[in-house]
Structure 1
Amino acid sequence: MRRDYGVNISCDKAWCAREAEYDLTRGTSEYSYSILHAYEEMLKIENPGTVFKIKLEDDVHFKYMFMALGPCIRDFTSYWPLIIVDGSHLKGKYKGTMLVAVSMDGNNQLYPLAYVMVDNETDRSWKWFMLNLKCSIGEPDNLVFVSDRMVSISNVIRAFFPTSFHGLCTWHIEQNLITNFKDSTIVGIFRYAARAFRMTEF
């Protein structure tokens, strides 16, 4: 501002001005939350078969939101019966966690299946996510889940998808090996074992 316009303002004022401009351009976060139900209806009109659920706390406050687009649900039946699940912490004014379920297409590219916005990665939030995921895709034959070692994920997969196989992400295990042993030889041996396709190779 000083260089371009010759105006000397503090960082706080610049930040407030930027936030006000964002609100004018994109709308406030509070307004976005208030029109979620309208967004749900438009999604269902434009993408038939979409599953969109909102859970409120005390019938007033936003708690969870689940979304799986209709085309993604339909196409999942033609891909490998593989679902990778994980969570990502959100930053910004409204904290929370986004739980995601992705699959792999025929070119080994990630394929978005469903996601949910929750307050934290807890047993309750994973349970709500898996319940809605099962309502969306059913329980396909030979279904495989891949996740990190979080106990909550294992528990809900066993509860909602009892016939599926649950494997652990080799990247997460590898990171634990690096942290605990600090020996590249062990990591190399683990990689060979993890990529073995036959029992004799393993």
Structure 2
Amino acid sequence: MKLQRVLQYAQHLLISSVTNGDTVIDATAGNGHDTLFLANLVGDQGQVFAFDVQQQAVEATTNRLTEANLGHRATVILDGHENISKYISTPVAAAIFNLGYLPGSDHAIITKPNTTIQAIESILALLKVEGIVVLVIYHGHEGGKTERDEVINYVSTLPQKYFHVLQYQFLNQKNDPPFVIAIEKVKEK
């Protein structure tokens, strides 16, 4: 067996949870890689909702989907992930976050703990049993450690009767390597 890198493991978790026809969320669209990955998983009957606060990210994601001829499978929204509940009310099979900043853009524009936790709460309310929320946490930037700590504190309090919370990381890597937190819904409240 070979250990999967962080992004490979995040994709593995999504593949295990998403089937054709599902509704899923990319809470941080960024350059559109996860949105495209999810669009391939949900099929023509499914729907991806992708959120980002930067016009540059919305355009990059839309372009990536258009180039792959999968634009019809996704709705790309210029808004913060804390507003997910304004756009989605149907059950969700999975969601992914890449916390931090948009690569190749202004590093001062970062995800924030309060809006991230609000988004997680909204998604957990919509999440199907056996659905998953994957957080890829990049924390080696200004504000990153604060967000990392607050998110870990929040997910650590989720009741184990309803949610399993996993942390996947490499302990011997230097320079604040990213890691995954995965939340699986195991039972309805």
> TM-score when scaled to structure 2?
0.31
Which structure would you say has the larger Rg?
1
Give the number of the structure whose residues are more often helix, by fraction: 1
> TM-score when scaled to structure 1?
0.30
